[in-house]
Amino acid sequence: MFVLTMATFGAYTIISIFLLFWIPGFIPLESIFLIPAVFLILLPWWGIRSVRFYNRLNRELFTGWLMPHYAFNAFLVLLVFAWIIVMLRLRDSDFPEYWGQLLGAVLIVYFFGILPIPAAFKKSRKAGMYAVACLVCVTLGFLLLFLAWKILYYNLSSAFIIIEEMYEHGEIMVTDVNRWFSLFGQKVPFTWLHFGWLTGLGLLLLLAAYLLYAKMLSELTGDSLRKMFPKPVLCLIGSTATCHLLFFLLMGIAAIQGESGRRKIQDRFGRYPSAEGMNELYFAGQKPDKAFWDYFCMGRFLDDNGISKPPEEKEVVLDEIITHRFSELTGEEKRIFSDTITKLSSSLMKLDNRLKNGIPKFPLEMKTDKMLATQIPHLNSMRVFCYQTKWRTYMALEAENKQEAFRILEITRKMARYGEGEAFIIGAFVDITCYNIYLDTLEQLVEKHMLTRELIQMISQELLALEKRIPQMEKSSLYSEAVCGNDVFRAVLSGQLQMMRDENTLIIPIRSLPFFLPQFQWLLLQNQVSLLRFYDAENLEAIPDVRKEKRTPSNWVAYLFTPSLRSAYIKFRGLIARSRAERVILACELFRMDTGKYPASASELVPKYLDSIPEDPFTGKPLLFRAGKIRVEVWKIAEKDKIVRVVGEPKEIEGIQVWSVGPNGKNDDGIYNNQKNQNDIRAVIQTR
């Protein structure tokens, strides 16, 4: 009985003590792989002791040759069976997906059925009934806990599975719930999938099986039940209860630390990090308009698939063309895209008219447990809409329609301005993309000399105002990420992470998990405390670099979340650099209006057109300037490797380039090539 207790209660105690030191990082992160070793030692130890015990008992109870060797022979059969299963899995043979359930059931039947039942019934009917009852309890307990484990895995693995699916398939796949929750291939009714009840009943059945096993051993050996629980056994059971209570205490301490972290966030941002605070920040007293956004999302593409077709009916994604600053299309290709816009001109005009009255807020569902899983399809709609307006501006310029080109430019600016209030870092990223599209379009209008002096001065002031608003945009993004990071742990227990996969998916909460596994809840709370510590900063620049800290289980989520904050800081600095470079380009256009030529150097713009050359936000030095030969990449539709796609070709143009050296601090002559670690940020116009 001591060996069985050691393999159950003892294993729980050993693992709990290990986690007590592993979660805070006192022992290496990789040492988590020692946990399977505990079971690989204790369970075979108990198994071998059981086989030896029943072999000896069979020799005493049976006189025939077969039964004394019954236990050992059955063990050999089981070993061969397990080896066959392992080989089949290693060879990727066609084998039922429930092979794990099957193997577990076979082990249970062997150790709690095949081994004890013959000897128990030979000894007494009472002992045999105890053995049968024990087998039934263990089997049912195993099946219930297996379902509970699948629910736990279903919730905890959601984020990782979603990321993997996005990389492999480019989209989130809908979950086949029947495949997840089945017993031996038979689907389990959804009404049974209650984590708390499954876990509670499963543990009670295993505890009942433990006591029935002790009663059976008492009948087989003739010892009293009290003797089945000597002092070492009681000590192991007591240590298990002590570890469980200890982690409840640690949970309470971590919860207090987490609340302290949230109060610091409240003091810094003036809002408590909650769904209510996010609603106040996002809506700012404005009312959402679902009908507007439904119409907007439906009309965001040039056609139903978001693609247009060049000659030979071969598809080219429109985004691939319009994301690039310089494009060369044939007359036939221009005609095809122009015809497409003409066909949709009626619906586009209706959308433009709606935009004249302003852009209402999207009806985001800001609720507790749902921050990370908030559905924000309108962000993609905003991005694609700005790409679309960029293309419409291009077509208007080709037709020399100055009024239409500027009107669409203004619509693009409105959308980018609206995006400044978007929630979460992803909203900031999309808004920065929208602003870059707006600035690309602005450069095209400058090249065509379509801006008046008054418009140039107005746009320059708007760019200055944008630069002043960026610190508040950073602060709002930081606060929203603090809310999201604080809420993600509740989302894990509530099952809301599955909403990222499919808003109609089955949600199975695991809120009772802390009661059964307080170690896991302590791990979540420790990560929450660590994450809140990183969010307690004045702005994105002040966020500590988590990579400078030792990676531990208690700051693992911070490793996952905070790098995006650093990326956002760089992107905001890039927007500042681009905005300043565009102001220099606008000053060059004013210089041309007055002198009939473009400046040869930046110094010619000071002080009449600029008070000074704007600083590069990455170095603090003036932005770089060159007039003359500029290297660019010209993009066109071509066939490459038997696939029609948009390809780029290097080209030199006569123009003006104003650029920042970017986050790497290295002058790459205005070139941006992420693969070569060239990340200069530039504004460029063609002057001839």
* Greatest mean pLDDT among 6-10, 218-222, 238-242: 238-242
Task: Write down the mean pLDDT value for the chain.
Answer: 82
- The two tokens of residue 341 are 């816009």
| DSSP class of 607 | T
Query: Which pLDDT belongs to residue 175?
Result: 52
Candidate from 134-148, 284-298, 320-334, 410-424 with smallest mean pLDDT: 320-334
Please state, in angstroms and as integers, the Cα–Cα distance from residue 504 to each residue in 67, 85, 328, 488, following that order. Answer: 57, 37, 44, 19
With a cut of 60, say whether residue 5 has pLDDT above it.
yes
Query: Which pLDDT belongs to residue 232?
Result: 86
Going by pLDDT thresholds of 50, 70 and 90, the confidence category of residue 307 is very low
Contact 364, 310 (CB under 8 A): no
- The two tokens of residue 52 are 């030896």
* Mean pLDDT within 661-678: 79
Query: How many angstroms from the chain centroid is the CA of residue 303?
Result: 30
Write the CB contacts of 29 (distance below 8 Å, at least 6 apart in sequence): 22, 551, 552, 553
Going by pLDDT thresholds of 50, 70 and 90, the confidence category of residue 244 is very high
- The two tokens of residue 46 are 């108990």
Among 200, 286, 211, smallest CA distance to 515 is for: 200
Query: Which pLDDT belongs to residue 173?
Result: 47
Query: Which pLDDT belongs to residue 182?
Result: 75
With a cut of 60, say whether residue 306 has pLDDT above it.
no
- The two tokens of residue 629 are 């030969």
Query: Which pLDDT belongs to residue 309?
Result: 43
**pLDDT tens-digit series, residues 423-434:** 888 889 999 999
Query: Which pLDDT belongs to residue 117?
Result: 85
With a cut of 50, say whether residue 313 has pLDDT above it.
no
Contact 400, 527 (CB under 8 A): no
Going by pLDDT thresholds of 50, 70 and 90, the confidence category of residue 545 is confident
Cα 331 from Cα 552, distance rounded (Å): 59
With a cut of 90, say whether residue 133 has pLDDT above it.
yes
Query: Which pLDDT belongs to residue 339?
Result: 73
**pLDDT tens-digit series, residues 568-603:** 999 999 999 999 999 999 999 999 999 999 999 999
* Mean pLDDT within 2-25: 89
Among 298, 403, 422, 277, smallest CA distance to 350 is for: 298
**pLDDT tens-digit series, residues 152-210:** 877 776 655 554 544 444 444 445 555 667 777 777 777 788 888 999 999 999 999 99
**pLDDT tens-digit series, residues 88-115:** 655 555 555 666 777 788 888 888 888 8
**pLDDT tens-digit series, residues 457-483:** 999 999 999 999 999 999 999 999 899
Query: Which pLDDT belongs to residue 305?
Result: 41
Going by pLDDT thresholds of 50, 70 and 90, the confidence category of residue 321 is low
Query: Which pLDDT belongs to residue 311?
Result: 43
| Helical spans, DSSP H, in 6-114 | 11-22, 35-61, 70-90, 99-109
Query: Which pLDDT belongs to residue 61?
Result: 76
- Which residue bears the tokens 């089997």? 139
Query: Which pLDDT belongs to residue 249?
Result: 96
With a cut of 60, say whether residue 83 has pLDDT above it.
yes
Cα 222 from Cα 42, distance rounded (Å): 26
Return the percentage of the chain with pLDDT > 90, whole number: 32
- Each domain of the chain, given as residue ranges in start order, spans 2-260, 275-686
